[in-house]
Every structure is written in C-alpha cells, then in structure tokens.
Structure 1
C-alpha cells in the first residue's frame, strides 16, 4: 500500500467508532485514517503509521482483545494513554420510532456496557454484534427498513444519515474505556508518568519478580495477566508502574532487570 499522508494516525474503523471519537478528542480530524484491525497493526509494524490508537481496557469487561495484539508486536512504543468516560447514543434512520425498533447493532463490548439500560428499556430487541460502533452505525444507515438502531458515540450521526434517539446511555465513572496511543518516540519525563512493562514468567517466578519491584521502591499501579501462548504455567504480565523509564529509581531498576520489556513511558492520566 502506498500512502502519501504526512503523519497518518490510524484507528479502528470504519468512521464513527469510539476509537474514532478518541482520536478526534486527541488529535482533531486531520490525518486520521480508518483501518481494519489487521491493517492497523500491519501498517504500524511496517512503519507506515506515525501513530495508532488502540482501546486496551474497559471498566466493564477489563482487557480488550486489542491489548494482546499490541503485546504481540515485535517492536512497539506506547506514547500516551487516554481514559474516557463513555455515554452511548441510540442511533437510527430519520423517521424511526423507538417503539418500532426490533434489532440493535453494537460491538460486543458495547452490549456489555449498555446491558443494564437495554435489559430495562428494550429487553425484547434482537442484538446483532458488529466489529465496531462505526460498523454498527453504517449497517443501520444502509438498511432499507426503519426498525433498526445502533449503540455508539453520537459522532456516528454526523458521519452517517442517522439521528440520535437518546444520548448518555450508561454514562458514568463505571463506564470508562482506556486507549493507548502507539508512536515512535518516547515522551520526555513530566514528573507524573507511567511506564508499561511486559514480563513473561512462570507461575513459580512471578513472586520473586514482584518482590524485586518492592525492594527497589518502584510502585506498581496495575497488573494484567495475559496468556503466554506457549504453556499453561507461563504467562505474560503487563505491569504498569509509576515513574519514567529514563529517570530515577525506575531507570536504575530497569538497568538491572534487562529481562523486563519496556513498552513505553508516558504522562499518567
């Protein structure tokens, strides 16, 4: 693929997804490129994207499948994080009445996040999974009937010929998604940073590694366990710690523990 963008920023498409909205919040509309999952990671790995935006965790379902895809990359640099409190919109074609809706489309994670509202307000509608909020909105827009709707960010109504029947569904601190921005250059220390580390170890070796953080005075913020894809008793752990990889106690700790893979240091949000 031959791209001519000056500094392309890739996100999971099509347009109208929550990742599209996150990129609009972070970067504005210029230079954004909507890509499929496979194309996004391929383009980043081959150096054709300056940055890529990936949702890695939610407060409702925990780790997303995209985190493993990031950890699988042979070379990656996380340069920013972006947590956003979500409130879903119910999008439909103009003229659709809420009582006429028989089918709703959304990403599987979105269905989990709107489940309380959906089971209370629209318990009998048919639920159809989509690859993203943008894909769900696009499918509704392409439908000939006025009996379908989608859940996603309100921006979908400005991209497709849809209207929002209701906004702010399940909005609150209980419904937060966190994105990573993958880039090319590690940000300089700010004094309030976070570092993401990848550790691959056996069940027996985990305690010793975690104890070494404590001895070095490095504060662990979060730990996510991911499969090693090798054996049942080995795992990959995403360990996020306070501090910058090139500064202070953490820099000294990482100088001793070369087995730890630094995924990135970036301002903590």
Structure 2
C-alpha cells in the first residue's frame, strides 16, 4: 500500500466544492481515508486526487470540471450500492474502467482505547452490512451508526471528544487521522469484494479482453424481446435491476456483457434496439 504524501493529503482535504478543480484531477467520494480513496491511489497514485461529497462529485462530472471519478457501484455482500443510480443519471459520462478489490476493515479508535471501551461504531451503511457477521459475534451490544464514508467515520472519531467510539475503515485511515487499529482484517476475504467504476469521457481502445456495460430501459411487454436480442448478440455476464422510477411496469437493467462496444455484434445491437444505452467499455478485471 502506498504511503500518503503531503501533497495527496493537502489535495484530499480541500473544500468539498468544485470551483477549485481542474480537468486533470480525479475525484473520489470524500473525505480522505475511505476505501474509495485507497482504490484511487491503487489505480492512479497519490497525486491529482480530490475528495468531494456525493453531490459535488456528480456535479463535477456533469460539468466536466474533473477528468475522471472513482465510484463504488457493486459489492459481493450487498449488491448494488446507492451510487449506481447516480451514475445512471449522467448523460455524457462513460464507464472507462473497473476495479475489484477484496476488503478487510479495521476497527479504528483513539490511541489507548480498548475494544471493551467501545460503545458505538461508525461506518458507511454498506460497510456496516459487510462487517455485520463480525459485529454480531464480537460486539453485539455496540450501537451501529451510519456515516457518509469510511473517511468521514474515521474523521469523526478523531475529532470527537470521547474515546468510546470507533470507526470501520481501511488501515490507511488510521495513519491519516492518528487513530489506532484495535482489530485488523475484519471480514477480509474474497467474499467481501467491492467493484469500483472509473468514470470519464470517451472509450478506451479495445484491449482484447474487454467488458461492456449497457443500460436496458423497457416495459414488461417488451422485456422478453429485448432479452432475446441481447442473448443472441452477446455473452451476458451480469444483470442488475434498478428502479424504473416512472411506472410499475417500467424497468431498468444494468447489463455487463463480454466484448468491446466497437465489436460488430454490439454495434448492431445498439443500432437496432434503442432501449439499450451504452454506459461504457473497458478492460475486464474479473
């Protein structure tokens, strides 16, 4: 794991607005110290990263004031994250990369705090679900409080006035906020994997081992026809239903398929079926 540089920390702790951004920057859901921050450092290094809150990040993408953004969209434990629908609401942004990572949370508290001292745990709601089996076994009576991110949870613990609150986050958050890891590797393993999308503009060139993500918007009457056209054209890897938001019989499905969007079969599918929208093509990571 790469260490934090002073430059990275300075950038990450900038204001959560967008007025200071430049197009070379890569946004992640802040504040610093979250797993999404760590994913960005794994992918891009520790420079040119900027922490934004949820609303500011998607506004920056929409207004083209950042070059790319990294967003967690699915996990092996809870399925689709709350951020997937935010991505679907963007018009001119493509998925240009994916990054799966098996996570192992740490229980973080102020130095000197013991496990038995802890009365409440702060974590992102998705993280609380991912660590639920461990919490149920090891700390069943501890209050579980949602936070906007792992970084926000760690920051709140560090800035709090008491020592009986802990955060669930990556080990890097301990170094950033001066916390001590009480337990490491909570719910670590291949069963606890998050997939991030890298969002940007344009599509990467074919790599020879690619994945394409489509959005299917269809009513119940046309669903069978659309699925038949899809399976005749491509190999389907995954399909996630999302709320239609217009009627009970209207549905949206995020569909991952094998191949690059430039391949003839996918080109013909998109040309002949307007209910499919191209969300992105990118090198396949799993």
Q: Report the TM-score when normalising by structure 1.
A: 0.96
Runs (4+) of structure 1 moved beyond 3 Å? none
For residues 89-238 of structure 1, what are the structure 2 equivalents within 5 Å?
89-216=106-233, 218-238=234-254
8 A contact 2:22–2:65 mirrored in 1: no
Match of 1:265 in 2: 281
Aligned to 1:254: 270
1:29 counterpart = 2:51: no
Task: Give 1:163 shift.
Answer: 1.1
- CA change 1:173–1:46 in 2 (3 A) is same
Q: Which residue matches 2:70?
A: 53
- Report the equivalent of 2:260: 244
| TM-score normalised by the chain length of structure 2 | 0.91
Task: Please say if residues 23 and 65 of structure 2, whose CA atoms lie closer than 8 Å, have aligned partners that are also in contact.
Answer: no
Pair 1:8-2:25 in alignment: yes
CA drift of 1:166 comes to 1.3
Query: Any stretches of 5+ residues in structure 2 without a counterpart?
Result: 1-17
| Deviations 1:222-258, CA, capped at 9 Å, x for gaps | 1111111100100111111100011242233323334
Indicate if the aligned counterparts of 1:244 and 1:251 stay in contact, CA closer than 8 A.
no
CA distance in 2, matches of 1:129, 1:4: 29
Partner Cα distance (2:117, 2:19) in 1: 45
Q: What 5-or-longer segments of structure 1 have no aligned partner? A: none
Q: Provide the aligned C-alpha RMSD in A.
A: 1.2
1:81 aligns with 2:89: no
Aligned residues: 268
The alignment partner of 2:205 has SS state of coil
Q: Deviation of residue 4 (structure 1)?
A: 5.2
